[in-house]
Structure 1
């Protein structure tokens, strides 16, 4: 089968012929229809410091996908050949304290699809049945292909109650844009999004932002004045990983405010912890999705009319992967889709 492979420990990706994945009695073989390009995939292509530590070559990349079930193992129940499915890209041990307690998203031994094992940038991908999400309701293939990052957005945005709250989102990348739509749909009063990319801020506006603020020439204090806020933001969703964004967020939270942090900083940075203590701010780290409560919430949100389609800005055939990756690496794009049926 054809697949996008990190063949060697060097920058670049290769479109190659590789064997179809083997499956066991508890596994599902999926014919991939479409995939989304993630920042993780860009790191692996560039072969940066993180990728050199995390990845062993050769490796088939990709963890955002939708496909059609082609084969099920003998022990698989409730999944049928022909089902339209996406996949939870975090494979957990099932044996640790958190897994046994049903908190699988907290597993210390998580293996990432397309990072620690061969992934979905291929004509076929194999997953344990427990990691397969069957789309029972009708869903657009492009949207189904990005259920993984959509789950990051939902997990982060719904970490705290949002009805009637004033929300600030730092970082208008694809997940920040989807979180904007979720927060607006979930009943937030104001949703302010910050970034330095005007094209991405425009996507945030299309997703429902009350105010999309370019922080290269303004700050959150100005956003508060423009919206008439008196005491600061109630909920912060940090998607950028940028020290200056985190500090600006903390400075503009109300006393008792709550911050969910998904953005991964490139390095350590100082923070005014005395302000966090005296303002009684709650900070929660977010990684991945809650299995499978977040997946259920995603499906229900879409059934309830949530529209995240503005986040998808381009589609390519998989053989055009180099152009697709180049566009995904810009500060202008949303989600980029690869079509594996062409």
Structure 2
């Protein structure tokens, strides 16, 4: 089968032929239809300091995917050949204190799909059945492929009650955009999202936000005036990892405000702890998804009409992976999808829909 592999230390990825994986005990085998390109994948391709410290090449990369089940190990229940599935990319030990208490997202022994174990940028992958999410309601393969980052957005956005609240989101990357869509959908009063990319802020406008603000030209305080806010934001969702964004967020929160922080800074930075203390601001770190409450929330949000399609801006056949990665790294797009279906072909216009992409619901023929 074809797979995108980090073969050795150094920049780049290669599309090579590798053996198809075999199903182990308690596992399922999946024919991949779509994959999403994540910031983690960009780090791996670049082979930066994090990748050098984390990866042990050779390894198949990628962790965001959708596909059809083609084989199920004996004893696996509630998953059938033909099911459209996504997968939780954090494989946990099941034995530590948090796992035993049902807090699997806090497992200290987590193994990452496409980081510590062969991943999803391939025609086939295997995954423990406990990590497989079966889509019981219709969902397009493109959207199913981004359930992993969608889960990050939902986990962050639903960290605190949002109904009737004024919400500030810093960072309009794909996860920030999805968090904005969630906040608007569940009943926030005002949702303001900030970034320095006009292209990404234009995408935010399609998701129903109250204000998409370019902070290279307009301050958050000026944005608050446009929304007629007098006391600051009730909830902050920090999605960028940018020190200036976090400091600006803290400075514009109401007393008793709550911040959920998903953005991962590249290094330590200072914040105004005096304001955090005297304004009694709560800051919660968020990583990954709650297993599997967040997945349930995601499916219900889509079932109740949340539309993520504006977040998906670019599609490429998997053979054009270099162009796809360059597009994702540009910082000007939404989510970039690689098509691994049998009808994927090189040279297809990057937003030209395939037959499967035109289907309104699950398409088992994709």
Question: TM > 0.5 between the two?
Answer: yes
CA-CA distance at 1:208 after TM superposition:
1.4
Flag structure 1 segments of 5+ consecutive residues without an equivalent.
none
TM superposition score normalised by structure 1? 0.99
Give deviations 1:142-176, integer Å, cap 9, x for gaps.
Answer: 10010000000000000000000000000000000
Q: TM-score, normalised to structure 2's length?
A: 0.93
Q: CA deviation at 1:22?
A: 2.4
Aligned to 2:170: 170
Q: Secondary structure at the match of 2:8?
A: coil
Cα separation, 1, equivalents of 2:130 and 2:248: 41
- Map 1:224-303; keep pairs closer than 5 Å: 224-303=224-303
Residue 256 of structure 1 aligns to a residue in which SS?
strand
Aligned to 1:106: 106
Match of 1:333 in 2: 333
The reply on whether 1:320 has 2:320 as its aligned counterpart is yes
User: How many residues in Structure 1 have an aligned counterpart in Structure 2?
Assistant: 342
Q: For residues 151-230 of structure 1, what are the structure 2 equivalents within 5 Å?
A: 151-230=151-230
Aligned to 2:358: none
Question: Shift of residue 25 of structure 1?
Answer: 2.1
Deviations 1:206-242 (A, max 9, x none): 1111100100011111111111111100000000000
Classify the secondary structure of the residue corresponding to 2:199: helix
Deviation track 1:27-84 (CA, whole Å, cap 9, x = no partner) reads 0100001100000000000000000011110010110000000111112111011111
SS in 2 for 1:12: coil
C-alpha separation in 2, matches of 1:273 and 1:54: 32
**Matched residue of 2:255: which SS?**
strand
Once the 2 structures are TM-superposed, how far is the Cα of residue 290 of structure 1 from its aligned partner?
0.3
Residue 129 of structure 2: aligned partner: 129
Find the aligned partners of 1:51 and 1:311 in 2 and give their Cα distance.
Answer: 27
CA distance in 1, matches of 2:95, 2:273: 36
CA distance in 2, matches of 1:309, 1:159: 24
Aligned counterparts of 2:224 and 2:207: Cα–Cα separation in 1: 20
Q: Deviations over 1:166-213 (max 9, x none)?
A: 000000000000000000001000000000000000011111111001
Cα deviation 1:94-113 (Å, max 9, x = unaligned)? 00000000000000010110
Distance 1:164 1:50 in 2: 39
* Aligned mates of 1:114, 1:25 — CA distance in 2: 20
Structure 1 residue aligned with 2:56: 56
